[in-house]
Structure 1
């Protein structure tokens, strides 16, 4: 009898070509599917809550697969973690309703983007943030962030080659926080780190990174709040900020 297993997954996306399995190249889903097929002896399709791009990380990606295996969720979790590489780990596993769909059942998701805004970037964090040496005005970034709240057409902030039915999404919150240091295993690492946290009903391809790029423009005084509103309303990708590097982006949580 088939059952549905839900997985909670953490990964460092640095060495992977994104979430979705590709014909050529190493991906997060493809790596996990290969291990699941070894465990079950079945062809396994792993469905995630969303397709993170190449180089993007996740603290709590949700995925699910169906199997006829008698293994318990705990056995699946232990077997997966013993075979998966060190940069992909399963943090929870559970049996769920057979109709559970990680993407379509999600009510909202939270991503955050990290910028190191100091002269020197710690070698312990270079894989997980974008380094901008020139000081950013966090107050201007915060003012600009307010323009994005609500249900809007975010066509200006999606990848130019996106082919989807609608580019309307609802952003519930968008917060900018400044950290004057971070802690690593109880040790303080000096430096200014800016964290952009976005919770929305869903996200378009490159949406968070393009919004982050526009907020950086605001932080450098290149655009003000009126201009940000114009960019949103124009539905023109060429008017928004640049796509920020993938390495600073994390999928933080998925809510059901």
Structure 2
């Protein structure tokens, strides 16, 4: 077998997350929920000759329903008979339009997309207007009012470093520990055209979240908290109490999935 490292991009709107899900018995007729992992494995099946030949595709992270990615990483073992295959071209030829293979590399046989990951970067995009949103940005931003970005930046500093983020993960999530080390949370860009003279300035703001690893919905929960700060509903003392209290029920709402994108995953040697 030959191990491949795939870099994948997808829009999350029509997916029930990354991970394959079995249809719940007794839930009525219908197919299994549509997932990114399932669609990619179906593409391999088409290329290799049928479902019985489809390899398991292992992702670096289980993005939730509605979350996008431009840098999801996965590994997969393919048979030696397919070694000459141009996998990027072949996969993109059969994948649906909301998934693309950005890159394919031959990986070491011990490479593991999930366990070898050292840190991840997500971005969350805010649109500071409820009056309109550009059509091509609809479904990729959270429409909010104008916010106090300086207050949000100060509140974000409270999350930097190693903390117990129990208040910012889904209630009932099973994990060995809710302690994580956050490396950065900061606004990094506004409108993409901001440096083009004469270009219109759109009310878009992108926040970067970087950590060695994240809990389930942790980025969306942190973003929801920061937006509450930006709206003046929470102060620094409130945020400290929420973080130290480790109680999800005391934290603000979860930010919508459509504003979140998995941007980059780093591995040894990157």
TM-score when normalising by structure 1? 0.94
Match of 2:134 among 118, 122, 136: 122
Matched length: 252
Match of 1:182 among 186, 192, 208: 192
How far apart are the structure 2 equivalents of 1:96 and 1:223? 47
Q: What does residue range 1-256 of structure 1 map to in structure 2 within 5 Å?
A: 2-23=1-22, 24-41=32-49, 42-72=53-83, 75-118=86-129, 119-132=131-144, 134-177=145-188, 179=190, 181-183=191-193, 188=199, 190-256=201-267
Seen in structure 2, the aligned counterparts of structure 1 residues 252 and 178 have a Cα distance that, compared at 3 Å, is closer
Q: CA deviation at 1:94?
A: 1.1
- Contact 1:115–1:194 (Cα < 8 Å) also in 2: yes
Runs of at least 5 residues in structure 1 that lack an aligned partner in the other structure: none
How far apart are the structure 2 equivalents of 1:33 and 1:46? 6
CA RMSD for the aligned pairs? 1.7
- Larger strand percent: 1
- Contact 1:8–1:91 (Cα < 8 Å) also in 2: yes
- Answer with 222-231 or 202-211: which moved more: 222-231
Q: CA deviation at 1:194?
A: 2.0
- Contact 1:62–1:102 (Cα < 8 Å) also in 2: yes
How far apart are the structure 1 equivalents of 2:161 and 2:88? 38
Seen in structure 2, the aligned counterparts of structure 1 residues 79 and 241 have a Cα distance that, compared at 3 Å, is same
How far apart are the structure 2 equivalents of 1:76 and 1:86? 17
- Contact 2:167–2:248 (Cα < 8 Å) also in 1: yes
- Contact 2:2–2:83 (Cα < 8 Å) also in 1: no
Seen in structure 2, the aligned counterparts of structure 1 residues 81 and 37 have a Cα distance that, compared at 3 Å, is same
- Contact 2:6–2:74 (Cα < 8 Å) also in 1: yes
- Contact 1:138–1:178 (Cα < 8 Å) also in 2: no
Q: Deviations over 1:90-118 (max 9, x none)?
A: 01111111111111100000001001012
Q: CA deviation at 1:68?
A: 1.5
Runs of at least 5 residues in structure 2 that lack an aligned partner in the other structure: 23-31
